[in-house]
Structure 1
C-alpha cells in the first residue's frame, strides 16, 4: 500500500508544503482574496507554519493558488484539524471551490513557487542542492560584506539571529524563485 505524503514526511521528518488551487466565481474575486488572506493569516499564526503565499490567477477564469508550508507532518495535521482553519471555512461564502490539491515533501516545496512547478514531479535532490547553492551563495556573501561589519560588536551567537531571517526571507521570496525560473529547463528536464 502506498504511503501518503504526510505519512512519508512523518517517517522522514520532512517539511510539508500544501499547494491548493481554488476556482472563484466571476465577480467574487475581491471577497475570495479577503477570505484567502484571512485563512493564510490564521495558518501563519499556527505553530509549525513556516510560510504561506497567495498566487493570483494566470488569467481570467484560472484558479487562485494558496501555498502553506509546515515544519513537519505533525504541524500540518494539527493545522488541518485546527479550530482556526475550521472557522475560516465556516466563513467561506460558497463562491469558490478547490480544484486541485498537492502535498509536497521536504526541499521540494521550495521549488513549488509557481502553479506549474507545484504540479510537476520535483527535481532530483542533487539538482535542488545546486540550485539552492546558486541562490543562497550571493546572499551569504552580501550579508558578510554589507551587514557583518555592523554586527561586529554583538556576541557571535547573536549575529546569525540577525542575518538568518534576512537571508531566509530573501531566499524564499526572491533568490530561489529567480534561480528556479533561470534553471527551469535543467531542474525540470521533462518540460523541454
Structure 2
C-alpha cells in the first residue's frame, strides 16, 4: 500500500454502518512509519491535521504517538456530520497533504465511528481498546445526563418560565450539552472505566 492510499475513501470502516443524518463522524487511522522517519512523519501528520482542523465542519483532531517502537501512530479526525467528513475527503487541501507524503508510512488500520461511539473511542484508542458496546454507552450517557437535566430543571427553569418553550429549550440545550461534554461524561467515563473497558 502506498502512502497516498491512507485516509482515502468515504465508506464505513471497521466501525460499521453509515452515519445517520446529522450524526457526528470520528475517523481513526493507524499508520506504520519506517524506522528513522518518525520526525518527518510527525511533521506531515501535524500538517494534515492542521488542514483538517481548518476545514468547515471539523470538531477536532488528534495525534497519538506509538506505545512501542513497532506500534503504529494514530490520527484522529472528528467531523460534525457525514457531509462535512465527505467534503474533507474530497478537498484540495487534503489532496495537497498527500501529494507531499514521502512514502515512508502506510495505513495499517482504520475505524469510522458515528455519534457517541466516537467520543468513547477517544478514551479507548490510546490504550488499544475497542469502544464499549452501544448499550454500555447508552447507560453511561444516561448516568451523565440525568443529573444535569434534573439540576437544569430545578435551577434554570424557574428563571426561564416566562419564555416560550422553544426559546427556553434553545437556552438550556447548549448549557446541558457543554456540561455533558466537558464535565459529566468525562467524570462518568472515569468512574465506570473498568465496566466500560474490561480487561
TM over 0.5: yes
**2:134 pairs with one of 110, 124, 129:** 124
For residues 8-60 of structure 1, give each alpha carbon's deviation from its aligned partner in whole angstroms, at most 9, with x where no partner exists.
Answer: 54544311110000111111111111111111111111111111111111111
Query: Which residues of 2 match residues 102-181 of structure 1 at below 5 A?
Result: 102-113=111-122, 114-115=124-125, 120=130, 122-125=132-135, 127-132=136-141, 167=179, 170-171=182-183, 176=185, 179-181=188-190
Q: CA RMSD in A?
A: 3.5
The answer to whether 1:21 aligns with 2:30 is yes
Q: Is the Cα contact below 8 Å between 2:19 and 2:114 reproduced in 1?
A: no
Distance 1:139 1:10, change over 3 A: closer
- 1:5 maps to 2:15: no
How many Å apart are 1:70 and its aligned residue? Answer: 0.8
In the aligned structure 2, how far is the partner of 1:49 from the partner of 1:186?
Answer: 31
Larger radius of gyration: 2
Structure 1 unmatched runs, 5+: 142-155
| Gaps in structure 2 of 5+ consecutive residues | 1-10, 152-167
TM-score normalised to structure 1 length: 0.69
Q: Deviations over 1:89-113 (max 9, x none)?
A: 1111111111101100111000012
Identify which of 33, 42, 53 aligns with 2:42. Answer: 33
Aligned to 2:88: 79
Cα distance in 1, alignment partners of residues 196 and 111 from structure 2: 19
Distance, in Å, in 1 between the alignment partners of 2:114 and 2:141 is 16
Q: Give the C-alpha shift of residue 165 in structure 1.
A: 9.3
Q: 1:62, CA displacement in angstroms?
A: 0.8
Distance of 2:34 and 2:187 partners within structure 1: 31
**Secondary structure at the counterpart of residue 66 of structure 1:** strand
Secondary structure at 2:111's aligned position in 1?
strand
> Taking structure 1 as reference, are residues 93 and 104 closer, same or farther at Cα in structure 2, changes over 3 Å only?
same
Q: TM-score, normalised by structure 2?
A: 0.67
> Cα–Cα, structure 1 residues 118 and 15, in superposed 2: closer, same or farther, change >3 Å?
farther
Report 1 or 2 for greater relative contact order, CA contacts < 8 Å, sequence distance ≥ 6. Answer: 2
Q: Name 1:147's counterpart in structure 2.
A: none
Q: CA deviation at 1:120?
A: 2.3
Higher share of residues assigned helix: 1
